Structure 1
Amino acid sequence: MTILNLIGAELRRLVASPLARLAFVALMIVPLIYGGLYLWANRDPYSALDKVPAALVVEDTGANVDGSTTNYGDDMAKGVLDGHDFDWSETDADTAAAGVRNGDYDFSITLPADFSRDLASASTDSPTQARITLTTSDTNSYLISTIAGQAAKTIRSEIAEQVGEEAANQFLVGLATIRDDLSDAYDGASQLADGAASAADGADRLADGTSALADGAATLSSGADTLASGLGRLNSQTSALPGQASTLSSGAAQVAAGNAQLAQAGAKAAEDSAAAAAAVPVARADLEAALRATGALTQEQIDEIMTELDPIGDAVLTTDATVQGVNGQLGALATGSAQVAAGAKALSDATPTLAGAVAQATAGADRLSTGAESLSSGAATARDGAAALRDGVDQLATGSSTLRDGLKSGIDQIPDSTDAQRSAQAATIGNPVDVTTDDLAEATDYGAGLAPFFLSLAAWIGLYALFLIVKPLSRRAITALTKPWKVTLAGWLTPGVLGIVQAALLVTLAGSVLGFGIANPIGMFAFGALVALTFAAILLALNALLGSVGQFIGLVLMVVQLVTAGGTFPWQTLPEPLAWLHRLLPMSYSVDGYRHLMYGGSSGAVLADILVLVGWLLAALLVTYLTAARMTKFRTLRDLRPSLIG
């Protein structure tokens, strides 16, 4: 008997009667009904959330923001109601609470009275976190409570973005104002720095000038002391001057009078001398004439006599010249003596005034000395003050330059932005992160996300149901001592082929009827065939080895894999014993392979899944073969009289 004969005989047995055909068709469409209904029901539940009733309670009384009343609650309520994410109803707190309790609303969100006030407090000295109250009841639906929580977080994010954008805009406007003020301060600091630099130059000159003044004042003080000392000595020495001047005046008058008398006598003598001098030539001529008249003497003798007498005449003439010179000097002496007398008289008259003036000058010199000393001390103090002023002004110049440079640095670090730029910056600060999804492998919707799990689960259920009517091994073939491997292949291919048909129908239903996107349709059909053959081999081995107990274990394995396959939540969240089962059991790999083929994932991962499934398939066929080989050699009581539980 060939393998095809065994398969054909089994198939004919399954459709031998109308009731058998009905049962066969019913069991064949079990995975379609199970998988199709689940996938249809969960195709895209999030698109129907606008039918979920929810209550919105706005108790916000508003707040004063920048001089005007702002009600963030009303603004947020308008956005929520206009969004139509849920079937929102705006109502009061009591109605909302009662509605959530009795199921009229699945959940409610409340914006309290101080909502705007708390939001506005972020810019005050006492910031308070605003609250949103989410009211849920798991009696309405645990999942809808989870969805409501996400909705509340979304609303919170939108509020945070709006308020953050407003706060950031206010901050940036304030920063721009600060920049303008800093620019004004920088201009002032620049002027201050320039003025301080000029003041520093002036302070240097002032310090130099006051230093020179101090030196000059010291010199003046020393000179004033010397002057006062000299005038003091002069004053003491001129104290007797008036009396001496008076005596001098009297003596000068007497001298002038004597000189006048002497001048008169000299004038008389000069007159007489002049007359004598004038008589000399006449007397010589008369004498020469008298001698010549005597005739007693020759001319030579006369000349000799006259020669002897001429020195006397010359002496008279010389004496006359001398007398005339002395007379002139005596006249000048008389005139000078008179002037000296007059001067002495004036000196005598002025000496008391001079003495008083010298005394006054002495007193003034004393005051000058005292003032010069004070001036010197003050000039030294001024010099020290000017030096301190110079140092202070230098520090001021340095500090003002530092201030100017610091203000310039601060201005450079504050962006000079326009209103449009500040608006864009505020929007970015309010919502700084934009999540860009880069889907390496994307499920088209929620139903497509669950499809790999339900396709795997439906394949197991479909084959499990078929084994309710399909015999694992042909006992007639075993009794006829047919080769065990033929019996094994026939027992496996009969449900395997039917499972392939079920898998093909499921993939067609998901892709064509329900419209789920399939990235690799051919791969999906081929992989579905492998999954069906693997599950058929496993259930065949369980039924062949353990009978009805094996059938029950197949049900247990379905339940276990329902939990461990990772079809809904990531398998990494499972407790470690269940995670270990995930890594072991075949449905985990069928779900993973379907995902990669359906969403366009890694071909390498699909190959790894195929290898694991092939390993399960071969191991299960080996168990079935060993069981068939044992049954061809001997029978057990269970083989001859199988019980209800195997």
Structure 2
Amino acid sequence: MNNIGSIYSRDIRNIVTNWAAAVVILGLVLLPSLYAWFNIKASWDPYGQTSGVLIAVANNDQAADLRGQAINLGEEIVTSLKKNHKIGWTFVDQEAALRGVEHGDYYASLVIPADFSAKIATVLTDDPQKAEILYTVNEKINAVAPKITSKGASSVIEEVSGNFVKVANGTIFRIFNEVGIELENELPTIEKVRTLVFKLETIFPELNSAVTTALTDVKKTNEIIRKAQDNLPIVSRLAQDGEQFTSRLGDYLSRSSEAVKAAAPDIKQDLILLRHTAASAEELTGILQDAAADPALVKSALDRTAGRLTSAVGAADRMASLFGQLNSSGGSQVLTSVIEKLQQTKNRFQQMLTLVNQITEGLDKGEQPAKELVDNLSRLSEEADSLLGDILQRYEGQIQPQILQAMKQANTAARNAHNVLVEANKSIPDLTKILQDAAKGLTLGDRELHAIQSQLPEVEAKVKGLAERIRSFEKEGNLAEIIDLLKNNFEKESEFFAEPVLLKENKLFPIPNYGSAMSPFFTTLSLWVGALLLVSLLTVDVHEPVYRSYQVFFGRYLTFLTLAILQSLMVTLGDIYILGAYVADKLGFISFGMLLSAVFMLIVYTLVSVFGNVGKALAIVLLVLQLAGSGGTFPIQVTPPFFQAIHPYLPFTYGIDLMREAVGGILWDNVYSDVFMMAVYVGITLLIGLALKETINTASRNLVKKAKESKLIH
């Protein structure tokens, strides 16, 4: 031990007493810090400076007409982009945009075609066409810039699509609302027409009897004819009003059918979202069955799933109600099986929500999820997924045509009512004439009464036919239920279908900027580079023959360790107090940095001490492999298979993890695991250094001597 201490103390004394050596050592201590600081500062907030990424925008769109209203979505997009300063939007013509992208003046371009608004307006036609925005990107300029420009272009499409869905749904549900209000306003008139037709139908037996009796009692017959003549003007007026109303009703229902057809993809999308909710519950059971799962992760997954299930219960209930109202309005039961499956799906979601809440309460008490609860949750999610899968499989082929059939039946009923009232209007003049003739007959005598009596059966048949048509209409659909369905709040319905699911974000271990997030990688990298600099400029050998091999190994290593610790302190303290990098645990960050310096220095020092210049090359090779294989920049899962294979064996893997724990917030089980791996590297390195140093140094002495004679290799 004395000899080891002697080597170390002599090295320190030589550094302190030799100003040239001290200057070189000072530079070696400072250089790794500069390497780390410059890289961290350069990547401090790259995504906060994207306003300098220029994207050319050329708007060729021309105004179009949508249901009598002029629209120019191209101008709306340009206006929106002018308010968006996250990207450097530059507004030019199409030729300048494409030329600028080709020559590198712009990273990308967006060209809005002349028919953009016109294609959007085709949504209400029999042949709707999707609008396009032409996106051109120059990937030669920079590797990362295309990702940023693509995100900017995608945000434009998402904003346009979201606004369009909201407006389109609002239009559809507003039409439904207007139809419902119109029906409700005219409902008293419709009821009066219906009552009077049925009343007239019941009067005819009396009328026949009166005509017959009039042969013997003209006075009694005259009274009956007067009553009929008093009622006919009211019937005529109501029939004419009803004819006009049912005509408008038929037109409204025709437009409503088109609106329902346009909304069919949104209904299908809602079913898909409900199925995703069932799938997310199934994924939750996998997390709950994992005994090693992070409690915080389990709690977050439970809360997220509970929120989704709550939304799913409401969505399934509303959808079942909508289908039920359509089923009733069509006067048939074609959608009954779908409604039953939606009710079953709602019940499954409600039961799953109850189970999730029970599991959450158990976790809050520190209990593990009961296997029975987890199994029931898995079973219910599979049943819900099966029910929704069956509905989706039959949606376009069976369910959607059934919805349209229900609306078609309602439309047919309205048309039938219109035809009935048209026939009534045609019949009323005949009836008026008959009654007038009957009145004249009372004065003309018995001969005229017989003529009236012969004409009454024909009139009675027409009135009965009108009454039967009204009854047929009532069997096909309940008008009050149709009105309730159509009067739903169209604004709330539109908002729901535009955004049925909201994302609730929860950040664990938040780090305020990209530079701080990258500091673990660049700090770890700089410490390895610092170790390489030390072995490149300082010798690992002690030339006095009085020392044994292990004494030289440990004595000189203490010198390198001291300098490596100084490098670590300079880097970590500079990260925190010079750059202002965010570090949750500053003491841990500094301590872990010194630990990494000690281990890295031991590895690099041992390679050079045992293998000489070959060891330096090996240390550089290790550096290169660790740059890509440690997961310091990109997730290791996106790297090629070779780097994923070597990832668990690289010191950087655990060194970067240690520093990340200090930056984001320490989980001590992770720290213990990483420190254990560092101890393993120390053990392997010491075994190599102590077992092989003397043997390899002796064997390679002549080779090293010969290499030095070339005056090129030291």
1:185 shift after superposition:
7.8
1:580 shift after superposition:
0.9
Give 1:77-96 correspondences, 5 Å limit.
77-96=78-97
Q: Quote the residue 1:440 is aligned against.
A: 508
**Distance (Å, rounded) in 2 between the aligned partners of 1:606 and 1:201:** 93
Distance change in 2, residues 1:389/1:71 (3 Å):
closer
Q: Quote the residue 2:546 is aligned against.
A: 480
One-letter amino acid of the counterpart of residue 573, structure 2: T
Aligned with residue 464 of structure 1, among 511, 526, 532: 532
Give 1:361-372 correspondences, 5 Å limit.
none
Give 1:39-58 correspondences, 5 Å limit.
39-58=40-59
Normalised TM-score (structure 2) = 0.58
**Distance (Å, rounded) in 1 between the aligned partners of 2:564 and 2:197:** 98
One-letter amino acid of the counterpart of residue 447, structure 1: G
The alignment status of 1:567 with 2:632, answered yes or no, reads yes
One-letter amino acid of the counterpart of residue 480, structure 1: V
The alignment status of 1:403 with 2:477, answered yes or no, reads yes
**Distance (Å, rounded) in 2 between the aligned partners of 1:15 and 1:123:** 87
Distance change in 2, residues 1:525/1:163 (3 Å):
same
1:553 shift after superposition:
1.1
**Distance (Å, rounded) in 2 between the aligned partners of 1:131 and 1:595:** 44
Deviations 1:579-612 (A, max 9, x none): 0111211101222222222112533223222221
The alignment status of 1:585 with 2:650, answered yes or no, reads yes
Q: Quote the residue 1:25 is aligned against.
A: 26
1:5 shift after superposition:
3.0
1:162 shift after superposition:
2.0
The alignment status of 1:616 with 2:681, answered yes or no, reads yes
Deviations 1:291-326 (A, max 9, x none): xxxxxxxxxxxxxxxxxxxxxxxxxxxxxxxxxxxx
Q: Quote the residue 1:160 is aligned against.
A: 161
Q: Quote the residue 1:535 is aligned against.
A: 600
**Distance (Å, rounded) in 2 between the aligned partners of 1:31 and 1:38:** 11
Distance change in 2, residues 1:539/1:62 (3 Å):
same
Distance change in 2, residues 1:416/1:430 (3 Å):
closer
One-letter amino acid of the counterpart of residue 489, structure 1: F
**Distance (Å, rounded) in 2 between the aligned partners of 1:22 and 1:37:** 22
One-letter amino acid of the counterpart of residue 29, structure 2: M
SS of the aligned residue for 1:592 comes to: helix
Q: Quote the residue 1:251 is aligned against.
A: none
Q: Quote the residue 1:258 is aligned against.
A: none
Distance change in 2, residues 1:488/1:54 (3 Å):
same
Contact 1:57 1:92 (8 Å CA) reproduced: yes
Q: Greater RCO between the two (CA within 8 Å, min separation 6)?
A: 1
Structure 2: 5+ residue stretches without partners: 210-452
Q: Quote the residue 1:335 is aligned against.
A: none
**Distance (Å, rounded) in 2 between the aligned partners of 1:192 and 1:559:** 91
The alignment status of 1:147 with 2:215, answered yes or no, reads no
Q: Quote the residue 1:73 is aligned against.
A: 74
**Distance (Å, rounded) in 1 between the aligned partners of 2:567 and 2:6:** 22
Distance change in 2, residues 1:433/1:513 (3 Å):
farther
SS of the aligned residue for 2:23 comes to: helix
Q: Quote the residue 1:627 is aligned against.
A: 692
1:77 shift after superposition:
0.9
Contact 2:37 2:574 (8 Å CA) reproduced: yes
Deviations 1:245-287 (A, max 9, x none): xxxxxxxxxxxxxxxxxxxxxxxxxxxxxxxxxxxxxxxxxxx
Contact 1:189 1:401 (8 Å CA) reproduced: no
Q: Quote the residue 2:226 is aligned against.
A: none
Give 1:101-112 correspondences, 5 Å limit.
101-112=102-113
1:182 shift after superposition:
5.3
Contact 2:611 2:696 (8 Å CA) reproduced: no
Contact 2:604 2:616 (8 Å CA) reproduced: yes
One-letter amino acid of the counterpart of residue 117, structure 2: S
Deviations 1:55-111 (A, max 9, x none): 221111121234232221112112212222233321111222222222322322211
SS of the aligned residue for 1:84 comes to: coil
Contact 2:30 2:570 (8 Å CA) reproduced: no
1:191 shift after superposition:
6.4
Structure index of larger Rg: 1
**Distance (Å, rounded) in 1 between the aligned partners of 2:619 and 2:627:** 12
**Distance (Å, rounded) in 2 between the aligned partners of 1:391 and 1:492:** 112
SS of the aligned residue for 1:467 comes to: helix
One-letter amino acid of the counterpart of residue 680, structure 2: G
Give 1:173-212 correspondences, 5 Å limit.
173-181=174-182, 183=184
**Distance (Å, rounded) in 1 between the aligned partners of 2:493 and 2:666:** 39
Contact 2:197 2:466 (8 Å CA) reproduced: no
Contact 1:30 1:461 (8 Å CA) reproduced: no
Structure 1: 5+ residue stretches without partners: 210-374
| Identical-pair percentage | 23
Distance change in 2, residues 1:112/1:640 (3 Å):
closer
Q: Quote the residue 2:362 is aligned against.
A: none
Contact 1:118 1:130 (8 Å CA) reproduced: yes
Normalised TM-score (structure 1) = 0.64
Distance change in 2, residues 1:191/1:53 (3 Å):
same
One-letter amino acid of the counterpart of residue 610, structure 1: V
1:435 shift after superposition:
3.3
